[in-house]
Amino acid sequence: MPGSLPFEAVTQDFNYACDRLKVRDEIRELVRTPDRELRVEVPVRMDNGGLKVFIGYRVQHNSARGPYKGGIRYHPEADLGEVRALASLMTWKTALMGLPFGGSKGGIQCDPTVMSQRELQELTRRFTRAISSIIGPDRDIPAPDMGTGAQTMAWMMSAYSEEHGYSPAVVTGKPVEIGGSVGREEATGRGVSIIIGAASKDLGMSLQNSEVAIQGFGNVGSWTAKFLSQMGCKIIAISDVKGGIYNSRGIDINALLKHAGEAGTVVGFPGCDRVSNEELLALKCDMLVPAALGSVIDGSNADRIHAKLVVEAANHPVTPAAYEILKQRNIQSIPDLLANAGGVTVSYFEWVQNIQRFPWDMGRVNLELQEIMLKAYQNVYSRVILEKITFRESAFLIAVERVVRAVELEGLPQ
Ligand code: NAD
């Protein structure tokens, strides 16, 4: 099922890296399993007067390299397995990027699209109080994910600060007016475009007029589309939950943003043919950028992918079975832990600015983001060439090596 992500899927990449790095079994077990999993009941008085009990999770995977860091997802299908998988992915992502964080993730099983602002605020404040003993600027720093946003983070910061004193650094992704960082909103899309710029050079692909299909036109998809079209790419197809649009001559992204803002969907944008999400994934193009749900490219459709390069802007959009098929078919893919790490990188900048009480301007944010993204890319690409492995294999080798080293340096139980 698209969207769901079992822990085993992420563990497969981890196992590959451990085998190759010859990590001892006892350390492998220690690093693979999460440090802590908290399940909390969150009762909320709904607008209709009834009491509803929601279930929330916070999974802290590993903190050997720094405080836990990871988003909070509000989704009807958020469950412990998925939150656990995403928490471990954060451990590898922060390690690969060289950020001084570990990995965590949270989630509440709810449908935020049918809840009022009052209900959402109540849910968020109660959830924050329920997990407040394990989060904090030096413990675990939540951020937005699917179904949550800057407003959710403002409520979390407020609820935490009521108990612990003014603590802007407890969450990232806040509104700029109360300590958020400029450039955070577009950071993930900007990071995707920086990685595509670097990879296209190394893979001998020209960006000018290269044909790109993007699944998802939310935060990540829309900013990625905007930056790539500024870089000269031709965006030939875009979709969202309601369907997709196609134009072989290229789509005007600024006009599409206006249309989607008014219509609530990309569907119906003038001058384009309609395509389904499944058809978009199978389009013949230079680059395919899944930027919506996880597991959208799986064993059933991987042999229909006709892009030269798949760039994982969403978290885990390619299942392990699909990854093997793409690899056999010589279709390169840039893994999520590198491609979409711009968001957590600017989250790190936000945390630094909050701790120092010293805000940066946009120029500095973008410059430092570019530097960190390109450094991580170069580390990955060097190993791709040197060891004749894929981008995914290289990224996991670097990340797992760093985390294992930190765990060993901390000292194992004697
Ligand atoms: P978003 O909620 O802003 O946008 C999601 C987009 O996906 C929307 O256009 C929505 O219509 C579309 N979508 C939803 N269900 C779909 C379906 N069944 N088929 C096709 N499209 C569908 O979310 P986002 O912040 O853009 O996140 C997208 C992905 O990127 C997620 O996997 C998220 O975990 C990952 N990600 C986001 C960030 C970030 O900074 N926002 C950072 C790293 C990774």
Does the annotation mark 105 as catalytic? yes
Q: What is the pTM of this model?
A: 0.96
Of 22, 52, 93, 105, which one is the catalytic site residue? 105
Distance between CA atoms of 144 and 121, rounded to whole angstroms? Answer: 14
Cβ density class 108-125: b for 16+ within 10 Å, e for less: bbbebeebeeebbbbbbb
Quick check: CB of 188 below 6 Å from ligand 1? yes
Q: Whose CA is nearest to atom 36 of ligand 1?
A: 314
- Residue 4 confidence (pLDDT): 60
For residue 342, give the nearest of 95, 13, 97 by alpha carbon.
Answer: 97
Q: How are strands ordered across the β-sheet holding 284-290?
A: 273-275, 243-246, 234-240, 211-215, 284-290, 306-311, 332-334
Q: How would you write the pLDDT of the chain (414 residues) with one tens digit per residue?
A: 445 667 888 889 999 999 999 999 999 999 999 999 999 999 999 999 999 999 999 999 999 999 999 999 999 989 999 999 999 999 999 999 999 999 999 999 999 999 999 999 999 999 999 999 999 999 999 999 989 999 999 999 999 999 999 999 999 999 999 999 999 999 999 999 999 999 999 999 999 999 999 999 999 999 999 999 999 999 999 999 999 999 999 999 999 999 999 999 999 999 999 999 999 999 999 999 999 989 999 999 999 999 999 999 999 999 999 999 999 999 999 999 999 999 999 999 999 999 999 999 999 999 999 999 999 999 999 999 999 999 999 999 999 999 999 999 999 888
251 in Cβ contact with 221 (< 8 Å):
no
CB proximity list for 266: less than 8 A, separation 6 or greater: 217, 238, 239, 240, 242, 243, 244, 245, 256, 259, 260
Task: Ligand 1, residue 86: give the atom nearest the CA.
Answer: 34
Domains of the chain: 33-178 (3.40.50.10860), 187-334 (3.40.50.720)
Query: What's the gap in Å between 313 CA and the centre of ligand 1?
Result: 9
Q: Whose CA is nearest to atom 42 of ligand 1?
A: 343
Quick check: CB of 146 below 6 Å from ligand 1? yes
Task: Ligand 1, residue 296: give the atom nearest the CA.
Answer: 19
